[in-house]
Amino acid sequence: MVYATLAEDLKELHHPKTWIGKYVWSQDHKVIAVQYMATAVATGLIALVLSDLFRLQIGFPGSVPFMTPEVYYQFITMHGMIMVIYLLTALFLGGFGNYLIPLMLGARDMVFPFVNMMSYWVFLLAVLVLVASFFVPGGPTGAGWTLYPPQAVLPGTPGRDLGIILMLASLAIFIIAFTMGGLNYVVTVLQARTRGMTLMRMPLSIWGIFVATILALLAFPALFVGAVMMMLDRILGTSFFMPAIVSMGQQLGYNGGSPILFQHLFWFFGHPEVYIVALPAFGIVSDLLSVHARKNIFGYRMMVWAIVIIGGLSFIVWAHHMYVSGMNPYFGFFFATSTLIIAVPTAIKVYNWVLTLWRGNIHFTVPMLFAIGFIFTFINGGLTGLFLGNVSVDVPLSGTYFVVAHFHMVMGVSPILVVFGALYHWYPKITGKMWNEKLGQLHFWFTFIGTYLIYFPMHYLGFLGMPRRYYEYGQTALVPQSAHMLNAFITVVALAVGVSQLIFFYNFIWSYFYGPKAEGNPWKATSLEWQTPDNPPAHGNWGPKLPTVYRWAYDYSVPGAVDDFIPQTVPADGTSRHHPT
């Protein structure tokens, strides 16, 4: 096939001239990606330390001198909020989205580079506002990451003076930042693909990020209005979410609002949010498995449709978080059914990952280890979702440690394993250096085994009936001594996993300065980002002419071909069997 010259080929590039223009106020998607990643990981590190501290309180009550109930609730709240929004969402979309979309699609940059730059700096502002809440009188909010009113804005909850205001403000700012980035990602995917890169030739990483971004653009506005309305309730005394209340013996001025309305808004955002995090992870892990098993992803078209269907269904399952909220109980029939239906496309993805390994040529590289670790962890977390989604089964488990174990397994550990796999996978492209294999493996084993030991037994504390968000259990009849011992064990493992992350930081920082130089395509991968003329790719990514794409991203081990991979830029020569697209 002959392709015409693109306008992009002829456009003159304006390279930044100063150090600040290149690395600080940069409009280069690769630099912005690294800025997003570094900020998200640094914020996540705070959340990790918070979790180890409150885990000490759970495992060994009283062992942390400053751990009052107030501090405990503030820490669990900040841990959850940071991990979900400021780490995972920002890292997958702002970080990997920014880095991979133009490089995997053969574009020079995002379509709106200036807006892209603004997106990062506004995101940084959101992080700073969030962090500032630790230093205001009363400290950050301790309302739980779900911020349910009326509790979040009433006395009796830590941080109700300033903490909650900063939290809501930070969320609103984050959403503004995300919207700038998100519109960019969607338009870039739709408009800036290079010649030959049809939608059905895009790597699944891009499909995951693309659909997740659409979800986020549709879901975050619900959180935005929820945050604004709660802010008005808190500051101006409106009653969006506040009914008539007697708080600590005081009649308050509120009347007529609905606390459940907030829950609907929150989860209308909150459930798609699970997939905003999960879909990029699904996409990326598909590519890791394919590259390192030297085999095409099994059932590519089915994988694409599964991502799209999961994305669509994710908007009609939100109230499965609210089975015992006091909403009309008849909703339970609908939401249980829609929730369990979503398990079908999700299961298909799992089958196809395993079938990708089947008859593969599996290289146990560090990214592959993380990818296999992900499959195992995700199977576990996905299956426990079938308990919680199934309305009546959820009733005794809701609000217990079973829920904590489930969502950490499915949307905490699983995506984080993919994040690590992806960082190891693309590190040589991003930095031009190679990390240390042994340290990478060590980091994997601590993280994979450790997190499983933390969260698998935790389900059983939930079966006992131990509610989450308890500062201490004291003398509770249904909590046997053995359960306290299990909690202590979990805390010890959590500390070990926390400390073992130092291996990762050491490896990446050391390798950046002293690591061996990486080849441009160390994994012998087919997708475009590995075919750049420079490593790491220079500003503009592609030299004078944009690449042309002739095939899908999964031509591995094609019968008759000499190498076991054929890059997307290699013209069709008739020897390979082509994917239907």
CA gap 430, 451 in Å, rounded: 28
CA gap 152, 161 in Å, rounded: 10
Count Cβ atoms below 10 Å from residue 218 Cβ, excluding itself.
16
Candidate residues 92, 123, 178, 298; the one interacting with another protein per rule CB under 8 A:
298
Site residue total, another protein (CB under 8 A): 117
Min CB(275)–another protein separation in Å: 18
Candidate residues 13, 395, 509, 572; the one interacting with another protein per rule CB under 8 A:
395
User: Which lies closer to another protein via its Cβ, residue 135 or residue 376?
Assistant: 376
Where do the DSSP E strands lie in 507-575? none
User: Which lies closer to another protein via its Cβ, residue 253 or residue 516?
Assistant: 253
DSSP-assigned beta bridge partners for residue 400 = 467
User: Which lies closer to another protein via its Cβ, residue 14 or residue 301?
Assistant: 301
User: Which lies closer to another protein via its Cβ, residue 138 or residue 196?
Assistant: 138
User: Which lies closer to another protein via its Cβ, residue 22 or residue 294?
Assistant: 294
Min CB(200)–another protein separation in Å: 12
Q: Does 203 bind another protein (CB under 8 A)?
A: no
Stretch that binds another protein, among 39-47, 119-127, 299-307, 416-424 (CB under 8 A): 299-307
Place of tokens 């560090």: 366
User: Which lies closer to another protein via its Cβ, residue 137 or residue 559?
Assistant: 559
Stretch that binds another protein, among 108-116, 127-135, 147-155, 425-433 (CB under 8 A): 147-155
Count Cβ atoms below 10 Å from residue 468 Cβ, excluding itself.
18
CA gap 97, 463 in Å, rounded: 39
**Closest-CA residue to 554 (of 236, 48, 257, 200):** 200
Residues 435-464 that bind another protein (CB under 8 A): 445, 448-449, 452, 456-457, 460-461, 463-464
CA gap 376, 354 in Å, rounded: 10
CA gap 424, 439 in Å, rounded: 11
Residues 399-428 that bind another protein (CB under 8 A): 399-400
Min CB(326)–another protein separation in Å: 4
SS3 state at 536: coil
Residues 472-511 that bind another protein (CB under 8 A): 472-474, 476-478, 480, 482-483, 486
Q: Does 358 bind another protein (CB under 8 A)?
A: yes
Query: Is the bond into 536 cis (omega within 30 degrees of 0)?
Result: yes
Min CB(469)–another protein separation in Å: 5
Q: Are strands 246-247 and 250-251 parallel, antiparallel or unpaired?
A: antiparallel
- Buried residues in 165-184 as b, exposed as e (16+ CB within 10 A): bbbbbbbbbbbbbbbbbbbb
As a whole number of Å, the end-to-end CA separation of the chain is: 14
Q: Does 376 bind another protein (CB under 8 A)?
A: yes
User: Which lies closer to another protein via its Cβ, residue 144 or residue 520?
Assistant: 144
**Closest-CA residue to 96 (of 410, 429, 545, 364):** 429
Q: Does 348 bind another protein (CB under 8 A)?
A: yes
Residues 82-141 that bind another protein (CB under 8 A): none
Q: Does 62 bind another protein (CB under 8 A)?
A: no
- Give me 432's structure tokens: 């031009």
Min CB(341)–another protein separation in Å: 7
User: Which lies closer to another protein via its Cβ, residue 117 or residue 391?
Assistant: 391
Candidate residues 294, 432, 492, 512; the one interacting with another protein per rule CB under 8 A:
294
Q: What's at 233, amino acid-wise?
A: D
Q: What's at 367, amino acid-wise?
A: P
Stretch that binds another protein, among 15-23, 278-286, 297-305, 499-507 (CB under 8 A): 297-305
Residues 241-260 that bind another protein (CB under 8 A): 243-249, 251, 256-260
Candidate residues 3, 23, 114, 351; the one interacting with another protein per rule CB under 8 A:
351
CA gap 320, 30 in Å, rounded: 38
Q: Does 1 bind another protein (CB under 8 A)?
A: no
Contacts of 222 (CB under 8 A, 6+ apart): 265, 266, 268, 269
Cβ atoms of 393 and 387 within 8 Å: the answer is yes
Any idea what the Cα angle at residue 283 is, between residues 533 and 361, rounded to 5°?
A: 75
Residues 326-345 that bind another protein (CB under 8 A): 326, 329-330, 332-333, 336-337, 340-341, 343-344
User: Which lies closer to another protein via its Cβ, residue 184 or residue 338?
Assistant: 338
Helix 98-105 and helix 29-59, axial crossing angle in degrees, nearest 10 = 140
Which positions from 531 to 560 touch another protein by CB under 8 A, shown as an x/- string? -----------------------x-xxxx-
